[in-house]
Amino acid sequence: MDPPTPIAIVGIGCRFSGVANSPEKLWELLASGKSTWSPIPADRWNNPAFFVADAEQQGMHNIRGGHFLEHDVAAFDAGWWGIAPAECEAMDPQHRIQLEVAYEALENAGIVREEIEGSDTAVFVATFTADYKSMQQKDLDDVPKYHTVGIGTGIAANRISYQLDLRGPSVTLGERN
């Protein structure tokens, strides 16, 4: 058996709940020992309409808050990435965030995009839940044109590889849905 090939992490980008949307802000949050828990933001959903104390009641929930990203996931610069508005509308916000964070990791490492294009750089990402897919499929007469490539969890890593012209392995880990 061949010895393992060494790897190095040379750049990082992140999106965590609260204001932890950079490595520096994440470190500040961790060092402070503060929690990012907050009540459910009113612009996320009408929580009072679905809240009941009885956790067993079907179609309702008994949560009052959680850990939420503070930035607007819809504020994605599709034009900068060369993505058509119709395709962007269909893209799961997880994919948008992963593109942004991948680019930020390159910046953090001091790597210029043109230097890495065409390289054997690998992309490994993970996805979680299929909320956006569920939302799109509530009204099948109004499904976005590019919904298949926009919501597919398997394409998340491939989207980054394609956009940055990376030619190494491209692997998405995620739940089955």
Average pLDDT over residues 124-144: 81
For position 164, what pLDDT does the model report? 97
- Domain enclosing residue 172, as ranges: 77-177
- 156 lies in some domain: yes
- 137 lies in some domain: yes
Number of domains observed in the structure of the chain: 1
**More confident call, 21 vs 59:** 21
Average pLDDT over residues 137-147: 80
- 106 lies in some domain: yes
- The chain-wide mean pLDDT, for the chain, equals 89
For position 102, what pLDDT does the model report? 95
E strand spans, the chain? 37-39, 65-67, 123-126, 170-173
For position 73, what pLDDT does the model report? 82
pTM across the whole model = 0.84
For position 143, what pLDDT does the model report? 82
For 60, residues 6+ apart whose C-beta sits below 8 A from its C-beta are 50, 51, 52, 54
CATH of the domain at 169: 3.40.47.10
Sign of CA dihedral 66, 70, 74, 77: negative
